[in-house]
Amino acid sequence: MSSLQGKVAIVTGGARDIGRQVSLKLAAAGAKVCINYNSNKQLADETVQQIRQTGGTAFAVKADMTQSAEVKKLVDACISEYGNTIHVLVNVAGGLLARKVLADLDEEFWDAVMDVNLKSVYLATRAVVPYMIAGAAIVNFASQAARDGGGGGALAYATAKGGVLTLTRGLAKELGPKGIRVNCVSPGMISTAFHDTFTKPEIRTNVANATPLRREGQAAEVADLVLYLSSDAASFINGESVEINGGSYFA
């Protein structure tokens, strides 16, 4: 297993689904984890409890990642709890919000999707980097939608995730000389509440059947990849987007 023993990690959107699995995996590898959530305290508390029950260290902080003052609150809470060095930042927070085609895509909705998926990554990274040292790692979340334009009604979401790809590359160049690596993962169809909410069952079945591995991915499988990219095992990987989709799309 990749080791993060004694390191400090922040996971935005770290309370549910993929974010929860990332939090659990990082903690199991020895990291002290600050779990961010925005609305569901119960899920955040459950995630913290699961980590502590297995001997890990974690606590949860409510903060809206689209607001700079809230992001600062999260980072301040983390350094107050764990000290002035942050070794890992995983930007999971994001979402589709709703499926809207161009004709229905009003400006307010467009801005909201950009804020939660792209601005949040910028704000969190800007706030955390001053506390990072050489060997630190940032892992962002893009999506297969960033590569193929997404499914119906995902225009804004796919565009925002495309922005995450570009932001990741730019940050990798800027922060690399400081010894800070920046990568992202781009999941395809993963079995989560995201698709329970936004994707019809028949579409999920069709996508799974068209995938060479003939199934959806699991949140824990994505978290394993995040753990690897967060660790010294990936010490010469920088500026990459790693596709994790069972072979349904090749970058």
Structure tokens at 124: 């969190």
DSSP state of 102: G
Residues catalogued as catalytic: 157
> In the chain, where does DSSP find H-type helix?
17-28, 41-53, 68-82, 107-114, 120-128, 145-148, 155-175, 193-198, 201-210, 219-230
Give yes or no for a contact between 90 and 29, defined as CB atoms under 8 angstroms apart.
Answer: no
Q: Spell out the residues 6+ positions from residue 204 whose beta carbon is closer than 8 angstroms to its own.
A: 189, 195, 216
| Residue 52 token pair | 């502590």
Q: Indicate the pairing of strand 32-37 with strand 8-12.
A: parallel
In terms of C-beta density within 10 A (0-12 exposed, 13-18 middle, 19 or more buried), how is residue 209 classed? exposed
In the chain, the amino acid numbered 64 is D
Q: Cα separations (Å) of 80 from 5, 67, 68, 85? A: 19, 20, 18, 10
Distance, CA of 137 to CA of 151 (rounded, Å): 31
Rounded Cα distance between 218 and 18, Å, is 8
Quick one: tokens of 155? 């225009």
